[in-house]
Amino acid sequence: GDSVTQMEGPVTLSEEAFLTINCTYTATGYPSLFWYVQYPGEGLQLLLKATKADDKGSNKGFEATYRKETTSFHLEKGSVQVSDSAVYFCALSDRDTGGFKTIFGAGTRLFVKA
């Protein structure tokens, strides 16, 4: 079945450092890929998405490119801020019987120090 694997955390960085959170997936179809972010005490919110191979999703300085050849969707940001401290979830969604199905990775917690 479909699955999502993302790097374990926590990841601790200093402010203005470069961020990479790795995400790889397995899927039988042609899924859409997402990064969701969860700030402390809140629900998940969509950070960015890509719906087909070679698409690049971007938002708030974060980027991720849908790489079908390596089945990856790594999240990057050139200069992190303290306010980026959160848990980041990689996810895929694909058409399924009766609707669509979403598989989430385990989440990666990011701490950014001032």
Partner 1 sequence: EAQVTQNPRYLITVTGKKLTVTCSQNMNHEYMSWYRQDPGLGLRQIYYSMNVEVTDKGDVPEGYKVSRKEKRNFPLILESPSPNQTSLYFCASSPYDSYSYEQYFGPGTRLTVT
Task: Summarize as ranges the residues that interact with partner 1 (CB under 8 A).
Answer: 4, 32, 34, 36, 42-46, 49, 51, 89, 93-95, 97-102, 104-107
Asked whether 89 and 74 are in contact (CB, 8 A), the reply is no
Asked whether 101 and 93 are in contact (CB, 8 A), the reply is yes
CB of 79 to partner 1, least distance (A): 26
Q: Which is nearer to partner 1, 98 or 114 (CB)?
A: 98
Q: Which is nearer to partner 1, 99 or 114 (CB)?
A: 99
Asked whether 104 and 78 are in contact (CB, 8 A), the reply is no
CB of 89 to partner 1, least distance (A): 6
CB of 73 to partner 1, least distance (A): 14
As a three-state string, the secondary structure of 2-35 is CEEEECCCCEEEECCCCEEECEEEECCCCCEEEE
Q: Which is nearer to partner 1, 42 or 69 (CB)?
A: 42
